[in-house]
Amino acid sequence: MISVEKNFLFVHVPKTGGNSIQTILKNYSEDIIINLAKHHDGVERFEVRNNKYNIKKHSTLNEYKSVLSPKQLKHFFKFATTRNPWDRCISFYFSPSRGVKEWNRNDFILFVNKVKPLHHYIKVEPFINKVARKLKMPININTGRLDRDIDFLIRFENIERGRGNKNLPNSSILAGGYFRSCCKARFRTFLLELIRLNSV
Protein backbone atom coordinates (compact mmCIF):
# COMPACT_ATOMS: atom_id res chain seq x y z
CA MET A 1 0.00 0.00 0.00
CA ILE A 2 1.43 3.35 -1.00
CA SER A 3 0.71 7.02 -0.57
CA VAL A 4 2.50 9.47 -2.82
CA GLU A 5 0.92 12.36 -0.92
CA LYS A 6 1.85 11.08 2.55
CA ASN A 7 5.14 9.60 1.32
CA PHE A 8 4.82 6.04 2.67
CA LEU A 9 5.00 2.48 1.40
CA PHE A 10 3.65 -0.40 3.47
CA VAL A 11 4.79 -3.88 2.43
CA HIS A 12 2.04 -6.26 3.55
CA VAL A 13 3.68 -9.57 4.40
CA PRO A 14 0.85 -12.16 4.50
CA LYS A 15 -0.41 -13.28 7.91
CA THR A 16 1.38 -10.59 9.93
CA GLY A 17 -1.52 -8.31 10.89
CA GLY A 18 -1.30 -6.26 7.72
CA ASN A 19 -5.06 -6.18 7.10
CA SER A 20 -5.52 -4.06 10.21
CA ILE A 21 -2.77 -1.72 9.11
CA GLN A 22 -4.15 -1.41 5.58
CA THR A 23 -7.61 -0.72 6.99
CA ILE A 24 -6.12 2.14 9.02
CA LEU A 25 -4.07 3.48 6.11
CA LYS A 26 -6.67 3.18 3.34
CA ASN A 27 -7.91 6.76 3.87
CA TYR A 28 -4.35 8.07 3.46
CA SER A 29 -3.42 6.03 0.39
CA GLU A 30 -4.22 6.22 -3.30
CA ASP A 31 -4.80 2.44 -3.20
CA ILE A 32 -8.31 1.04 -3.06
CA ILE A 33 -9.65 -1.94 -1.13
CA ILE A 34 -11.74 -4.28 -3.27
CA ASN A 35 -13.46 -7.66 -3.01
CA LEU A 36 -12.37 -10.11 -5.70
CA ALA A 37 -13.03 -13.51 -4.16
CA LYS A 38 -16.12 -15.10 -2.70
CA HIS A 39 -14.63 -15.12 0.82
CA HIS A 40 -13.77 -11.38 0.69
CA ASP A 41 -15.83 -9.18 3.00
CA GLY A 42 -14.00 -5.86 2.51
CA VAL A 43 -13.13 -5.70 6.20
CA GLU A 44 -11.00 -8.67 7.20
CA ARG A 45 -10.62 -10.27 3.77
CA PHE A 46 -9.96 -8.09 0.74
CA GLU A 47 -7.57 -7.24 -2.08
CA VAL A 48 -5.75 -3.97 -2.75
CA ARG A 49 -5.24 -2.27 -6.11
CA ASN A 50 -3.85 1.04 -7.35
CA ASN A 51 -5.09 2.83 -10.48
CA LYS A 52 -1.63 4.13 -11.38
CA TYR A 53 0.71 1.32 -10.34
CA ASN A 54 0.42 -2.39 -11.04
CA ILE A 55 0.51 -3.54 -7.43
CA LYS A 56 -1.57 -5.80 -5.22
CA LYS A 57 -2.19 -6.43 -1.54
CA HIS A 58 0.95 -8.52 -0.98
CA SER A 59 3.32 -6.84 -3.44
CA THR A 60 6.96 -7.30 -2.52
CA LEU A 61 9.47 -4.50 -2.23
CA ASN A 62 10.96 -5.77 -5.51
CA GLU A 63 7.55 -5.39 -7.17
CA TYR A 64 7.21 -1.85 -5.82
CA LYS A 65 10.71 -1.13 -7.10
CA SER A 66 9.65 -2.20 -10.59
CA VAL A 67 6.77 0.32 -10.77
CA LEU A 68 8.11 3.29 -8.78
CA SER A 69 10.87 5.68 -9.74
CA PRO A 70 14.16 5.28 -7.84
CA LYS A 71 13.59 8.74 -6.33
CA GLN A 72 10.12 7.76 -5.04
CA LEU A 73 11.36 4.49 -3.61
CA LYS A 74 14.26 6.20 -1.87
CA HIS A 75 12.12 8.93 -0.33
CA PHE A 76 9.14 6.84 0.76
CA PHE A 77 9.00 5.81 4.41
CA LYS A 78 9.02 2.02 3.90
CA PHE A 79 7.69 -0.26 6.61
CA ALA A 80 6.31 -3.77 7.07
CA THR A 81 5.12 -6.18 9.73
CA THR A 82 6.69 -9.45 10.77
CA ARG A 83 5.48 -12.35 12.90
CA ASN A 84 6.76 -15.44 14.66
CA PRO A 85 7.27 -17.83 11.70
CA TRP A 86 5.49 -20.74 13.40
CA ASP A 87 2.37 -18.68 14.22
CA ARG A 88 2.44 -17.21 10.72
CA CYS A 89 2.51 -20.68 9.12
CA ILE A 90 -0.34 -21.93 11.33
CA SER A 91 -2.40 -18.86 10.41
CA PHE A 92 -1.58 -19.37 6.73
CA TYR A 93 -2.47 -23.07 6.90
CA PHE A 94 -5.93 -22.36 8.33
CA SER A 95 -6.57 -19.27 6.20
CA PRO A 96 -10.19 -19.07 4.94
CA SER A 97 -8.91 -18.82 1.37
CA ARG A 98 -7.47 -22.34 1.70
CA GLY A 99 -10.64 -23.85 3.16
CA VAL A 100 -8.72 -26.16 5.52
CA LYS A 101 -10.71 -27.07 8.64
CA GLU A 102 -8.61 -29.82 10.23
CA TRP A 103 -4.93 -30.33 10.96
CA ASN A 104 -3.05 -32.79 8.75
CA ARG A 105 0.62 -33.15 9.63
CA ASN A 106 1.82 -34.34 6.21
CA ASP A 107 -0.18 -31.67 4.39
CA PHE A 108 1.21 -29.03 6.74
CA ILE A 109 4.81 -30.12 6.11
CA LEU A 110 4.29 -29.84 2.35
CA PHE A 111 2.51 -26.51 2.77
CA VAL A 112 5.20 -24.91 4.98
CA ASN A 113 7.82 -25.44 2.29
CA LYS A 114 5.76 -23.24 -0.05
CA VAL A 115 5.34 -20.29 2.35
CA LYS A 116 7.57 -17.42 1.27
CA PRO A 117 9.80 -16.08 4.08
CA LEU A 118 9.95 -12.49 5.28
CA HIS A 119 13.01 -11.58 3.22
CA HIS A 120 11.09 -12.43 0.02
CA TYR A 121 8.81 -9.47 0.74
CA ILE A 122 11.09 -6.82 2.26
CA LYS A 123 14.51 -7.19 0.63
CA VAL A 124 15.44 -5.85 -2.77
CA GLU A 125 17.05 -8.63 -4.74
CA PRO A 126 20.68 -7.90 -5.68
CA PHE A 127 21.20 -7.48 -9.41
CA ILE A 128 23.69 -10.37 -9.51
CA ASN A 129 21.00 -12.73 -8.20
CA LYS A 130 18.68 -11.74 -11.05
CA VAL A 131 21.39 -12.38 -13.62
CA ALA A 132 22.35 -15.69 -12.00
CA ARG A 133 18.73 -16.83 -11.95
CA LYS A 134 18.29 -16.01 -15.65
CA LEU A 135 21.47 -17.95 -16.45
CA LYS A 136 20.32 -20.80 -14.18
CA MET A 137 23.41 -20.46 -12.02
CA PRO A 138 23.24 -21.51 -8.34
CA ILE A 139 24.28 -18.13 -6.94
CA ASN A 140 22.33 -16.40 -4.21
CA ILE A 141 23.99 -13.40 -2.61
CA ASN A 142 21.77 -12.31 0.24
CA THR A 143 23.97 -10.15 2.41
CA GLY A 144 23.18 -7.46 4.91
CA ARG A 145 20.57 -7.02 7.58
CA LEU A 146 17.13 -8.45 6.97
CA ASP A 147 15.56 -5.01 7.30
CA ARG A 148 18.22 -3.11 5.31
CA ASP A 149 15.81 -2.05 2.54
CA ILE A 150 12.98 -0.79 4.76
CA ASP A 151 12.85 1.91 7.41
CA PHE A 152 10.73 0.26 10.08
CA LEU A 153 9.68 -3.30 10.92
CA ILE A 154 6.68 -3.82 13.22
CA ARG A 155 6.58 -7.12 15.12
CA PHE A 156 3.09 -8.62 15.22
CA GLU A 157 3.65 -9.95 18.75
CA ASN A 158 4.80 -6.58 20.09
CA ILE A 159 2.08 -4.30 18.74
CA GLU A 160 0.07 -4.40 21.96
CA ARG A 161 3.16 -4.25 24.21
CA GLY A 162 4.61 -1.39 22.18
CA ARG A 163 1.40 0.58 22.56
CA GLY A 164 0.80 -0.30 26.22
CA ASN A 165 -2.31 -2.42 25.68
CA LYS A 166 -2.21 -5.61 27.77
CA ASN A 167 -5.68 -6.79 26.68
CA LEU A 168 -4.60 -8.13 23.30
CA PRO A 169 -3.95 -11.86 23.18
CA ASN A 170 -1.10 -13.25 21.12
CA SER A 171 -3.65 -14.87 18.85
CA SER A 172 -3.43 -15.98 15.26
CA ILE A 173 -5.84 -13.28 14.08
CA LEU A 174 -4.69 -9.73 14.70
CA ALA A 175 -6.92 -8.49 11.89
CA GLY A 176 -10.03 -9.75 13.66
CA GLY A 177 -12.64 -7.73 15.47
CA TYR A 178 -10.90 -8.19 18.82
CA PHE A 179 -7.90 -6.19 17.60
CA ARG A 180 -10.10 -3.44 16.24
CA SER A 181 -12.14 -3.12 19.44
CA CYS A 182 -9.17 -3.26 21.84
CA CYS A 183 -6.53 -1.07 20.33
CA LYS A 184 -7.46 0.27 16.92
CA ALA A 185 -7.60 3.89 18.07
CA ARG A 186 -4.33 3.72 20.01
CA PHE A 187 -2.46 1.82 17.28
CA ARG A 188 -3.95 4.04 14.59
CA THR A 189 -2.60 7.12 16.40
CA PHE A 190 0.82 5.48 16.72
CA LEU A 191 0.90 4.43 13.06
CA LEU A 192 -0.20 7.80 11.70
CA GLU A 193 2.28 9.63 13.94
CA LEU A 194 5.05 7.32 12.71
CA ILE A 195 4.18 8.14 9.11
CA ARG A 196 3.86 11.87 9.83
CA LEU A 197 7.29 12.01 11.47
CA ASN A 198 8.92 10.16 8.59
CA SER A 199 7.24 11.95 5.70
CA VAL A 200 8.63 15.42 6.39
| 7 pLDDT more than 80 | yes
Tens of pLDDT, residues 10-64 = 999 999 988 888 888 888 999 888 777 777 776 677 888 889 999 999 999 999 9
- Which stretch of 28-42, 82-96, 125-139, 180-194 has the lowest confidence by average pLDDT? 180-194
| 103 pLDDT more than 90 | no
Residue range 149-154: mean pLDDT, rounded:
90
pLDDT in the model for residue 93: 92
d(CA 32, CA 104): 36
Beta-ladder partners of 2: 9
Tens of pLDDT, residues 152-198 = 998 887 765 554 443 333 333 433 343 344 445 666 676 666 666 65
pLDDT in the model for residue 177: 42
Residue range 87-95: mean pLDDT, rounded:
90
In the chain, where the domains are located: 2-83+119-198
| 97 pLDDT more than 60 | yes
Q: What is each CA distance from 92 to 41, 66, 129, in whole angstroms?
A: 18, 27, 28
CA angle, 109 then 21 then 108, to 5°: 5
pLDDT in the model for residue 180: 41
| 136 pLDDT more than 80 | no
pLDDT category, 116, cuts 50, 70, 90? very high
pLDDT in the model for residue 128: 63
pLDDT greater at residue 45 or residue 151: 151
Give residues with Cβ within 8 angstroms of 172, minimum separation 6. 87, 90, 91, 94
Residue range 112-140: mean pLDDT, rounded:
78
pLDDT greater at residue 168 or residue 70: 70
**Residue 93 backbone dihedrals phi, psi, to 5 degrees:** -60, -40
d(CA 198, CA 132): 36
